[in-house]
Chain A
Amino acid sequence: MKQLIFSVLFLFITSLAHGQERDSLKINFPVTKYKLQNGLTVLLYEDHSVPLISYHTWYKVGSRDESPGITGSAHMLEHMMFKGSKKYPGKLFDRILHENGIVNNAFTTYDYTGFYESLPSSKLEMMMEIEVDRMSNLNLNPGDLQSEREVVKEERRWRVDNNPMGLLMETVMGTVFKTSNYRWPVIGTMKDISDYKIETLRNFHSIYYVPNNAVLVLVGDFKIPEAKRLIEKYYGPIASRPLPRREYPREATQDVQRNATVRKDVQGISFTVAYDGVPNAHPDMYALDLAANILGNGSSSRLYKHLVYTKQSATSAYAYDTTMQDQGVFAVGVNLKPHMPMQESLDLVYQEIWKMRNKLVTSEELMKAKTQVMKELVDGLATIDGKARALAVNEIMTGSYENLFKDLDKYNAVTAEQIKDVSNKYLNQNQRSIVVLEPKGKKE
């Protein structure tokens, strides 16, 4: 009988002397990290809380590696990774996973593509053989591309073309970025989706789906020596290949406000005020994250109180600081009630941004924001899959999973002055974009 042993992370909380002061939290758990000779980065963490393994394979390739005319091809390739490989052709991949109690999925972002499975612990070797085969011997048949292309078109209609909020998000990115590769959507344009050639995808696969461009993360019910043996056996023989020089066009400095309007059959206006922000792990990211939190995270945030609670003009208001590998976006979003005009609410957003730039946030607000960040981190580590994702995203975006454990200190070190400074530096009128989604037929 296998016993469930609950993992106690090496995670502790220490209180400061005064009850009123915030407690500091340190998070750490012992991860085994190493590289195979072929360059594959491996992260292993045993967690026997459930008899399952969370298996993540992330490749450092995303939509920023595309070019106009083939936008969305990283995402298309992600779909094609489920269409069969040399040893597991056709539908065998789906069938084997289905028959072995394994669930799986994948995602593509601007910077990376991730594949993940939740598998019973006894299936590790089988899963590894399958993952290795599709890393090195993907079939990529033109016939499969034909039908999967239609699936992706439906995905685009569902996410964007028939989804007003999805269209607003896509327009924000296309407005903020004019020269960098973040200007096109991860899913690609409908025209490009219709035109993909199988050679383009083969080329993408052969360049980027190599061990030296991948991070393998296993968290769960396995023994590290055995996992290492299997990884060497299956991944070891794959040859590394030189990666192309990764040079991406920089975003030109914005010196004038940009405006964009999308008209759809919607009940009320939604608008976003967006700014060119900072890349992931940039020293200013921590203060900007907290600024976004204070402005628009939850019902105690400044924007919610003004727009939803006091003015009652909006159904929701939020702010976010998204950081990609080379660039970032800081944005405030407002969804107005039906028939509510925009200008007054937009002015209120400007006022709040002005306050962030000119006045210090209160110590209570700062403390609250730090607590929210801390709690979000803790909540994200509740499952083996959550731990695997947290390790993978830190490794692939910063080059070291250990930043997961260092970030709390960096957030805790942020001062009210720094929040004011970064607000001044990045939230300028010249650097902003106003993107509006408004009802069709609305009078000008």
Chain B
Amino acid sequence: MGKFQMRIILSLLVGVFLAGCIAPGKKTEIVKADKVSAAPVVTTSQFKLRPMREVQLENGLKIIFITDNSLPRVSMTMLVKVGARQDPKGKEGVNGLTSRLLAEGTQSKSATVLADELGNLGTEIGIDPGNDFTIISMDSLSNSAVKLLDLYSDIIMNPAFLDVEVVRTKSQVIAQLQKKIDNPSSFANDAFDEFLYKGHPYANDIMGTPVSIKKIRKQDAIRHYLNNYRPNNAELAVVGRFNKDFEAKVSDIFKKWTEKPIKEFAVRELKPIQGIEVKLVSKPGLQQAQIRIGEYGIRRIDPDFLKLRLANVALGGEFGSRLNQHIRDNLGLTYSIYSYFDSRIDRGPFVISTFTKNDTVGKTVDESLKIFTDFVKKGITEAELKASKEQMMGQFPRAIETADLLAYNILVLNFYGVSLSYLQDFMKNVEALSLSDVNLAIQKHLDAKNLRVLVYADEKKVADQLSKYNLVIEKLK
């Protein structure tokens, strides 16, 4: 669309969220009877965070209000504490499907009426089911804030789950799952999750499989909604240009939402990785190989989180990192190589992600493993420590540059039981990290001898390059 085609993608969000530090979990103080408490202004050594106010409704819903008058807009973001991790065996994708169905009609508005009314506000509803939690977000220009609130609350509190919409949405999800293979990068990501986490819910696609989606009935989605999409299992952030009346209106509407006891879900054990296990998923005709190398990383609440985040900056977090400098710049083997920790409730993955032409698959795997082995064995250098600190501290403000970003970070921190000192003391905590702290954490949590490697490529073109590994081949049609 002309000049407006340029959209700003805030991919930084997850990266910097991961960059955050961990402080001991602190439970939010519950203020009964919808009393509003003014949270103190949180300060860092560099600047102040925006002021925010918290309300805890009697039904358990916590609401955070952050005023931001810089633009004429209002946004609402809700984190619901349920994800694919809780999907029952055989009905994988039930949370993904249930969350999608929220947008497919309420008890008073059909799916198309809802779409039109959202469109009139210039918005769409954002529904993002994840492994651990689900995000539901919407925004509008501030002159439509009341209408936004009406639609948003209706979608969350009064979904219709009509038969026709369940059937239609299931068909849509199944088609999307079938077409997943057409995008090699995202297909490889999913194949790697499946390989790394076999037997654990993190192995599953968040939207399930065509087989599991077929098995899910309307009643499954309704039950899942009633058991999990509850005020005492959610937290809401309201951000933007609004006044006190609007804040009161938000509380008034959401206080009608009925709470319910929420079932606890236990952390699941992970099966140990035995040596370097390499799996080749083969599809004939691929002209480039996708490569993922990884292992179990850490839980989000692990006290070594910040140390490993810093270590990762040096390994594969930036252009100046070891993996990028060697595999891309020196050897010209790829256009992109990076590593990351995706820390979750259970131990989320640590992954090195890249791609290369068919001829150089063996070399790329070998060289990446060499870099990783050296990194685990020797740790990072004093110069890398210094540079990584500069990167993390220098770019940290971008993570909370907008009120929306700040709100999202707070919701996620609260979910994982991480104190707001994550943001408050970020600079101080990064600055205080020593070389031995970081290198001990690397050795404690990463293991270069027990890894899983996934290659998605054409077997005929690449299998012989991987023959020295204990190779398992899965052939796609």
Contact = CB atoms under 8 A, between A and B. Distances in A.
Interface of A: 1-4, 6-9, 11-13, 15, 23, 25, 49-52, 82, 91, 94-95, 97-104, 118-120, 123, 146-155, 157-158, 161-165, 265-268, 280, 285-286, 289, 292-293, 297-301, 304-305, 308-309, 312, 315, 320-323, 335, 337-338, 364, 367-368, 371-386, 389-390, 393-394, 397, 403-404, 407, 440
A51 B46 CA distance: 8
Contact of B47 (A3, A299, A371, A383): A3
B31 interface: no
B119 A305 contact: no
B332 A150 contact: yes
Interface stretch (B155-163, B317-325, B339-347): B317-325
Given A49-B401, A157-B357, A305-B112, A101 B4 contact: no
Interface residues of B, number: 87
B50 A148 contact: no
Interface string B18-58: 00000000000000000000000000011111100000000
B4 A373 contact: yes
A154 B334 CA distance: 6
A95 to B, nearest CB: 6
Interface stretch (B69-77, B78-86, B366-374, B435-443): B69-77
A385 B391 contact: no
B183 A163 contact: yes
B455 to A, nearest CB: 14
B173 to A, nearest CB: 10
B181 A267 contact: yes
Given A50-B401, A51-B397, A52-B395, 20 more contacts: A11-B70, A13-B141, A97-B319, A98-B387, A100-B394, A101-B393, A103-B318, A146-B332, A147-B329, A148-B332, A154-B332, A158-B336, A162-B288, A163-B183, A165-B183, A298-B115, A300-B112, A315-B172, A374-B141, A375-B121
Contact of A161 (B120, B288, B330, B402): B288
Contacts of B45: 1
B275 to A, nearest CB: 29
B425 interface: no
A2 B4 contact: no
A371 B178 contact: no
A253 B357 CA distance: 40
A300 B355 contact: no
A98 B388 CA distance: 8
Contacts of B70: 6-9, 11, 49, 382
Contacts of B171: 312, 337
B335 A151 contact: yes
A410 B431 CA distance: 50
7 contacts: A268-B179, A301-B119, A320-B1, A320-B5, A375-B140, A379-B139, A440-B285
Contacts of B68: 6
A144 B45 CA distance: 42
Contact of A338 (B115, B139, B179, B319): B179
Contacts of A51: 46-47, 397
B14 interface: no
Nearest to A6: B70
Contacts of B330: 147
B186 to A, nearest CB: 11
Contacts, number: 269
A25 B72 contact: yes
B150 interface: no
A151 B325 CA distance: 12
Given A4-B47, A383-B402, A152 B335 contact: yes
A411 to B, nearest CB: 9
B182 A267 contact: yes
Nearest to B210: A338
B143 A13 contact: yes
B111 A103 contact: no
B404 interface: yes
A154 B355 contact: yes
A83 to B, nearest CB: 8
Contacts of A389: 6, 8
Given A94-B320, A152-B335, A315-B172, A13 B386 contact: no
> Which of B10, B115, B175, B319 counts the most A-chain CB atoms under 10 A from its CB?
B175
Contacts of A397: 3
Contacts of B181: 267
A300 B288 contact: no
B390 A378 contact: no
A103 B395 contact: yes
B397 A50 contact: yes
Contact of A11 (B72, B329, B357): B72
B268 interface: no
Contact of B394 (A101, A299, A371): A101
Contacts of B333: 150, 154
Contacts of A280: 2-3
Contact of A100 (B1, B6, B390): B390
Interface string B164-196: 000010011001101101111100000000000
B335 A393 contact: no
Nearest to A265: B285
Contact of A368 (B71, B119, B325, B387): B119
